[in-house]
Amino acid sequence: MPIDSIIRANRAGGGGGIVSICSAHPQVLRAALQHGLEDGGEVLIEATCNQVNQDGGYTGMTPADFAAQVLGEARRVGFPAERVNLGGDHLGPNPWRSLPASEAMARAETMVAAYARAGFTKLHLDASMSCADDPAVLNDDQVAERAARLCAAAEAAIESTTDRAASNERGAAALRYVIGTEVPTPGGAHEAIDSLTPTSTQALQATLAAFEAAFDCAGLQAAWTRAIAVVVQPGVEFGHADVLDYRRAAAAPLAAFADRLPRGMAFEAHSTDYQRERALGELVDDHFAILKVGPELTFALREALFALDMMDRERLPKAHRAGLADALERAMVDDPRHWQDYYTGTETEQGFARRFSLSDRSRYYWSAPSVMAAEARLIDNFVANPPPLTLIGQYLPAAVDAVRDGTLEALQGEATTAAGAYPPLCAPALVRQRVRKVIARYARACAAA
C-alpha cells in the first residue's frame, strides 16, 4: 500500500507525509485531484460518518456514492484511479449517538461494512462518543472494545464481498486502520480557545494498550498489525475566529514517544486547518505523517464564490444577479440545525459567523437546491458577462497573474483570444485555484525533507 511507504519513510526519519482531503464538495475534490496530477503523488480523500453513511448523511451520499463521485472526478481530470486513496473519518456511532448504544453501534457496524465494501481502505475507527444510555465519558476499554467491533465488521464485509472494488482486491489485507480521537469535537471548537494541552504520553500508552488488548480479545491480531496511525492532540485547533498554532516544544514528549509506537505506527493530526506552512512542516517532522484538512478547504471555496458573487453585483443589474451569498444565508436561516449549536450571540454575530466563521458551518449547505441553483446562475453569468481584469484584481487578486498568463482552465470550445486579452475563463477554475493554494501549502509541508 502506498500509504505504508509514506508512514515508513516518516518514521525512519526521512520526513514526508500525506495530506488528507476531508471534503465532499465536487470543486474541492477536483482541485485536489488536479493538484495531485501535477504533483505526481498519491491523493488521500476522506469522508466523515456525518457526511456519508448508509442513510445518506448530510450530503445524501452512501459510501458507494461517494467513491463513485471521487473516481468520476478522477476520470474527468485524468488522474489514475490506482493513486486515489479513500478513507473514512470518525467512523463510529456519532450520527446515531441519541440512540441507545446497542442500536447506535449496530448502525455503525453497518456503516463501516459499507465503507469497506465500497473500496475505502483507510478506516478511522472512532467509538469515543457517548450514546443515549452511556455514561458522559467512556473509558479506554469501552472505546477500544467498540472499535474492535467496528474493525471486525469491516474485515468480515470485505472478506465476504465477491465483487470487490479494485483497491480492495486483496480483501482485508488491503484495509488500514487509524485509532484514537482528538479533543475537542471534529470540525473545530465550539467556543473561543486560547490554549490546548497536547495528549500526554501516559494517556497515549493507555490508549494503545487498551486497543491492542481489545483487538487481541476479538481475534483481530492480523488487523492490529495493519493499524497505521493513532490520532492524538498535538495542541492545534481553530475556533470561529482564532487559531491555535502548533507549539513544537509543548508537543516534544509526543514526538519523542514516536519511537515507541507499535510496528512503525505514526501519528495522525486532526484540525490542522489554518496552520501556517512552517507549523505543518514541523508536525510532519515530529511524526504526524497524516495531516487532515477540511473546513479550510470549503472556507477557501466560499471565499472564492463570494468574490465571484461580488463581481456579479458590481457589473450586473439586480434582476440578473445570481445572489449566491443571499441564497446561502437564506438556506442556513431556514434550516439552522447544522450551525445553531455552534454560533451563539446576537443575531448580528450569528449572521457574521454564518458567513465568515473559520469553522465554516456553511459547508453543510452547498448541496441545498436553492444554493446550487444560485451557484449555477453565477457561473452562467460569468460566461455571458466575463468580468474585466480590474474586477478580478479587486476580488481575487492572487489569481490575476494566472489569468493573464492563461494558466487557468479556459472555457471549452472558445475561439483563440485576441492579442492582449486574457483567455475566456471557466469560473470554477478561479474557485479551484483558491482551494489549490491551501492544498499546495500542505503538499509542500508534506514533501520529504
> Would you say residue 442 lies in a domain?
no
The reply to whether 183 and 317 lie within a common domain is no
CA dist 97 and 63 (Å) reads 20
Tell me, yes or no, whether 249 and 309 share the same domain. no
Domain boundary among 296, 319, 351: 296
Question: Given its phi and psi angles, is residue 413 left (phi above 0), alpha (psi -120 to 50 degrees) or beta?
Answer: left
H-only helix segments in 221-272: 221-224, 252-257
Residue 443 lies in a domain: no
Claim to verify: residue 124 and residue 56 sit in the same structural domain: yes
Instruction: Report the C-alpha gap between 146 and 126 in whole angstroms.
Output: 9
Query: Is 445 part of a structural domain of the chain?
Result: no
Asked if 304 and 285 sit in the same domain, the reply is no
- Both 372 and 415 in one domain: the answer is yes
Residue 347 carries which side chain, given as an amino acid letter?
E
Rounded distance between C-alpha atoms, residue 214 and residue 223, angstroms: 11
Does 281 share its domain with 331? Answer: no
pTM, full prediction: 0.93
Distance CA(180)–CA(116), nearest Å, equals 19
The residue among 273, 296, 319 that closes a domain is 296
Residue 448, domain member (yes or no)? no
**In a shared domain, residues 163 and 239:** yes
State which residues form the domain around 332: 299-436
Final residue belonging to a domain, choices 270, 296, 322: 296
CATH of the domain at 145: 3.20.20.70
Structural domains in the chain (count): 2
Torsion over CA of 115, 301, 35 and 410, rounded to 10 degrees? 120
pLDDT in tens, 263-279: 879 999 999 999 999 99
Residue 375: which of 306, 298, 449 has the closest Cα? 306
Q: What are phi and psi of 323, to 5 degrees?
A: 65, 40
Each residue's pLDDT tens digit, 131-153? 999 999 999 999 999 999 999 99
Q: Mean pLDDT of successive 10-residue segments in the chain (449 residues)?
A: 91 90 97 96 97 96 98 97 97 97 98 98 97 96 98 93 53 94 56 77 96 98 97 95 96 96 92 97 97 98 98 95 98 97 96 98 96 96 89 94 81 47 77 97 88
Same domain assignment for residues 326 and 255: no
**Is the same domain home to 310 and 426?**
yes
